[in-house]
Amino acid sequence: MTPMPSGWIHVIAGCMFSGKTDELLRLLRRAEIAGRRVILVRPTIDDRTSPEVVESRSGVAFRARAVASSADIPALVSRERSSVVAIDEAQFFDQGIVEIAELLAAEGRMVILSGLDQDFLGRPFGPLPQLLALADEVTKLTAICTVCGAEATRTQRLVGGRPAGRDDPLIVVGGLDDEKYEARCRAHHVIGSSRRG
């Protein structure tokens, strides 16, 4: 009996504007050059671009499949017979994405997930903390603070030009060229005051 090839989980995390999607797409292009069968999955909630493509802010694009739930991923991967499975915006998936990533890696596949590790309040975001803990490899990216130019590790959400508060919705999908979000360093990340009286 031949041993199964060893799977691997690689998580690319960071704040918005840190280049997570560019790095994910770079790794997928390399996998294709190496002759690997690649599939890129994205959550349907991310409607910034067409469901058939993932596009980075720098304009790099890659064909993709949009799914509503992590439970949809294994059948899709199986049908495509993919050895490399990439999952963009992993923070938007349900907690089941953790088990799915583990399952795919146990089958000998390379699993690459990218996503925000913190929400706009600076708290761990969705399933990313658990994925980071279980990953075989982690790439943590930073951006540039829009206030001072230092390394940015936080995502600042703006509402009407002011910092969002704790009572604002947790998930607001930002477009590729909008002013809803900025990258901020720890010193300039601000949580706004409550808007409810």
Tell me the catalytic residues: 89
C-beta neighbour count of 48 within 10 angstroms: 15
Task: In whole angstroms, give the CA distance from residue 8 to residue 179.
Answer: 36
How many CB atoms lie under 10 A from the CB of residue 135?
Answer: 20
> Residues with Cβ < 8 Å from 38, sequence gap 6 or more?
28, 31, 32, 82, 83, 84, 86
Distance CA 101, CA 7 (A): 10
Contact yes or no for 8/137 (Cβ under 8 A): yes
